[in-house]
Chains A and B, each alone.
Chain A
């Protein structure tokens, strides 16, 4: 580390490269593990929004759907601010009109969605697949927890 690096670090101008390494790895592994390419993720994002919009009016501008990884579990996180609810769901494939007004609510598709029975369960089903596993080889939650205590090595 040169003196200049050190000064930059002291002044908070530059992040240490180890931190950058961690952040970049976490991002790339989230995608590796879910085995989704960016185009598919984008398509899934559009379809999720379409379904949600049939039931509630959401603020498209501030919607955020992303993959996050923690402890070898990848989750799809969606933050969809709801403007107002619809009294009756729109028919499938109907045009979506953006309404005005706002209701302070947020719908989060997190890991809890995996146990739920709502349409968004589909979205979280990609979680917990390993980088190499195809859809058929996806790990079943709860059966292959990586945190299992190591038992003694047997010959």
Chain B
């Protein structure tokens, strides 16, 4: 849940930290990374032509206007799925890795061949999920699959966190999800309406100088990837409103719930 948004925002955030970043849209069936980065009108060649060696890699790469450190390698025709092999993906990412500090692969949803191709080319993985039963169950299957493919470390980003519902225990808590999936937590992204606005415009939230909560969360994830230590604050435990205090007090004194 939110793979492409994470890839776009993380790509911009890493570029802002001075890293050279290549983002690869491996979701050939339902490509969208170009749209979220606002680069959809500037695509000439795609990964397909690079693989067929009908164009050079730098001809296919689309540089971001505001963050020239970031380049996108667009997904080719959806029919690529029929013939693409894990080795092809490894070839492309190998080419990208030669010229970038970070290569981010936007994997397709599901656990089918498209996902396996993307995972075959990855050294490490970030699993992003929301605190809902179906999403966590799916994430568990993906983590199981990644473990068999020798991709590690695998880190977790929890998306669309609603602090109020978590504080009321009407949602799986951050601890629940990290306990169940047993992965180190890389980031917490709050539910944020600005995400929709940013996708409408094709301008990732991390481009802003004063980003909204979700944008700040993506920036923090980028900094953590670069080795910086930024504390993770569980937003559901941060509230000190009257009702939260009252509930906490009741919980402590009665031990009922």
Judge whether A22 and B180 touch: CB under 8 Å: yes
A72-B182, A154-B123 known; A21 and B148 CB under 8 Å? no
- The 0/1 profile, CB within 8 Å of A marked 1, for residues 10-37 of chain B is 0000000000000000000000000000
User: B113 interface residue, CB < 8 Å from A?
Assistant: no
Q: Complex formed: what's the CA distance from A153 to B151 in Å? A: 12
Judge whether A12 and B257 touch: CB under 8 Å: yes
Q: Complex formed: what's the CA distance from A151 to B227 in Å? A: 9
* Residue of chain A at shortest CB distance from B256: A12
Tell me if B's interface is mostly helix, strand, loop or mixed. mixed
Judge whether A130 and B144 touch: CB under 8 Å: yes
| B interface residues, how many (CB within 8 angstroms) | 44
Which residues of A lie under 8 Å from residue B140 when comparing CB positions?
A: 29, 32-33, 131
From the candidates B155, B172, B250, name the one contacting A18 in the complex (CB within 8 A): B172
User: B197 interface residue, CB < 8 Å from A?
Assistant: no
Q: Complex formed: what's the CA distance from A32 to B134 in Å? A: 13
| Min distance, Cβ B183 to any Cβ of chain A, angstroms | 6
The 8 closest A-B pairs by CB, nearest first: A130-B144, A16-B169, A150-B153, A72-B182, A18-B169, A131-B144, A131-B141, A146-B182
Interface residues of A (CB under 8 A from B): 1, 9-10, 12, 15-19, 21-22, 24-26, 28-29, 32-33, 71-72, 130-133, 137, 139, 144, 146-155
Interface residues of B (CB under 8 A from A): 97, 100-103, 111, 123-124, 132-133, 136-137, 140-141, 143-145, 147-148, 152-155, 165-166, 168-173, 176, 179-184, 186, 225, 227, 250, 256-257
